[in-house]
């Protein structure tokens, strides 16, 4: 109604101005005829039509200026504030209408975010880009009071289910109030249990302890405002003196290992030669044993054969053999008067006769 009334007032104003500047009347002479001709502008659109037009224009201006809606992107949540009070439930991705000047929506990122604690940054610096926050490395004291710098990468995300409560309790700087203090406190407690020179050897154990304790501390917070994705221990930076000492110890260990390897190689070589000598000795022993066994077998065979032969030499058989020899000797005497016969005592073996015409046999007999 206010817009319609304003349109009617504007029409009355322009109608009055038109009547005052009417060049066909007496006012034209009063002005000495110097007043220029003004166009005839008729703003009288009709009461109802003009009101509708002005209402639409006013509504469009209100939409452009006040913007009574907001669009929440995927991976974000909207925190609705009504007269400064946050709503308990976050707005999901999509289009949402709000009351201008009374309500306001703050968007928060619920995607995975990263904090890199690196030594290359200057002390106290903090740089954020595309969900990645860079902070200085964490400097803590070891068990003996030596300073040690720890480089970490922490991946986490805002718990979308409790995003509104998190912002209400912790504010929009929730990362600096939750993640950063917890990480620094855990690193300080874990590193403080060990000596600096032992840290490189216990790297895996330390990394496991840090990730476990950070996850436990965050989980114990009310409504679990943050979901921890991972904690990666990138580097342990020791004081120069400690680093030099560790390097000297490592070199000494390498020398000891090298000497042990040389001893082991010498021992292996000695064992190899001993094994070869034993092999040669075993071979010779086996060969000698084989020959001895062969001779034993041969002797036993001969003895067995002699035994068999002895058993087969019966008295009648020997007498028969003697008769055969005597018969041969008698035949030889017919042709050779020098033939000799040797009688064996007791007749245990056949008599032996020799042809004395054979010089070799005769010389052997004379011997």
Number of domains, the chain: 5
Question: Could you tell me the CA-to-CA distances from 258 to 201, 244, 254, 255, 272 in Å, in that order?
Answer: 21, 21, 6, 5, 21
User: Do β-strands 113-118 and 132-136 pair in parallel, antiparallel, or remain unpaired?
Assistant: parallel
Q: Which residue has the higher pLDDT, 8 or 82?
A: 82
Whether residue 75 is contained in a domain is answered as yes
In this prediction, residue 2 carries a pLDDT of: 41
Q: Give just the sign of the alpha carbon dihedral 14, 15, 17, 22.
A: positive
206 shares its domain with 306: no
Whether residue 216 is contained in a domain is answered as yes
258 shares its domain with 322: no
In this prediction, residue 137 carries a pLDDT of: 93
**How high is the mean pLDDT of the chain?**
77
251 shares its domain with 291: yes
User: Do β-strands 127-129 and 352-354 pair in parallel, antiparallel, or remain unpaired?
Assistant: unpaired
188 shares its domain with 203: yes
- 250 band by pLDDT with thresholds 50, 70 and 90: confident
Residue 155 has pLDDT above 90, yes or no: yes
Residue 280 has pLDDT above 70, yes or no: yes
Whether residue 18 is contained in a domain is answered as yes
3-class secondary-structure state, position 255: helix
Q: Beta partners for 148?
A: 140
62 shares its domain with 16: yes
Domain boundary among 270, 289, 312: 312
10 shares its domain with 117: no
183 shares its domain with 220: yes
Whether residue 142 is contained in a domain is answered as yes
Whether residue 34 is contained in a domain is answered as no
The CATH number given to whatever domain includes residue 221 is 3.30.479.30
79 shares its domain with 119: no
Alpha carbons 308 and 116: distance in angstroms, whole number: 104
131 shares its domain with 216: yes
CB contact at 8 A, 144 and 197: no
260 shares its domain with 172: no
- 23 band by pLDDT with thresholds 50, 70 and 90: very low
332 shares its domain with 288: no
- Structural domain of 254: 241-312
Lowest mean pLDDT among 298-302, 306-310, 336-340, 360-364: 360-364
pLDDT, tens digit (0-9, with 9 covering 90-100), for 77-99: 999 998 888 888 889 999 988 88
163 shares its domain with 263: no
Whether residue 32 is contained in a domain is answered as no
Whether residue 291 is contained in a domain is answered as yes
Whether residue 35 is contained in a domain is answered as no
Domain boundary among 187, 216, 238: 238
- 102 band by pLDDT with thresholds 50, 70 and 90: confident
């Amino acid at each position: 109604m206010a817009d319609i009334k304003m349109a009617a007032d504007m029409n009355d104003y322009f109608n009055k101005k038109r009547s005052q500047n009417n060049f066909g009347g007496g006012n034209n002479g009063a002005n000495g005829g110097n007043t220029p001709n003004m166009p005839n502008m008729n703003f009288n659109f009709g009461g109802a039509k003009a009101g509708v037009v002005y209402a639409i224009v006013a509504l469009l201006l209100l939409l452009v200026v006040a913007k009574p809606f907001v669009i929440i992107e995927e991976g974000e949540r909207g925190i609705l504030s009504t007269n400064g009070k946050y709503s308990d439930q976050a707005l999901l991705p999509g289009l949402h209408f709000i009351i201008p000047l009374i309500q306001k929506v703050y968007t928060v990122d619920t995607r995975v975010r990263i904090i890199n604690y690196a030594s290359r940054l200057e002390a106290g610096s903090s740089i954020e880009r595309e969900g990645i926050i860079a902070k200085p490395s964490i400097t803590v004291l070891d068990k003996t009071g030596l300073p040690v710098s720890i480089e970490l990468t922490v991946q986490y995300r805002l718990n979308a289910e409790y995003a509104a409560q998190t912002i209400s309790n912790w504010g929009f700087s929730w990362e600096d109030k939750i993640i950063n203090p917890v990480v620094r406190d855990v690193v300080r407690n874990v590193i403080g249990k060990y000596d600096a020179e032992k840290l490189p050897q216990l790297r895996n154990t330390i990394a496991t302890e840090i990730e476990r304790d950070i996850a436990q501390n965050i989980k114990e917070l009310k409504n679990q405002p943050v979901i921890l994705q991972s904690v990666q221990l990138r580097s342990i930076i020791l004081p120069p003196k400690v680093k030099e000492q560790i390097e000297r110890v490592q070199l000494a260990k390498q020398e000891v290992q090298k000497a042990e390897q040389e001893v082991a190689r010498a021992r292996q070589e000695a064992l190899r030669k001993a094994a070869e000598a034993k092999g040669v000795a075993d071979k010779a022993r086996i060969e000698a044993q084989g020959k001895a066994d062969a001779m034993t077998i041969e002797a036993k065979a001969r003895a067995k054969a002699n035994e068999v032969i002895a058993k087969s030499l019966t008295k009648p058989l020997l007498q028969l053999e003697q008769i055969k020899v005597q018969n041969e000797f008698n035949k030889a005497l017919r042709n050779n008067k020098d033939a000799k016969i040797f009688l064996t005592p007791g007749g245990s073996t056949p008599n032996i006769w020799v042809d004395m015409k054979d010089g070799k046999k005769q010389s052997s007999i004379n011997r």
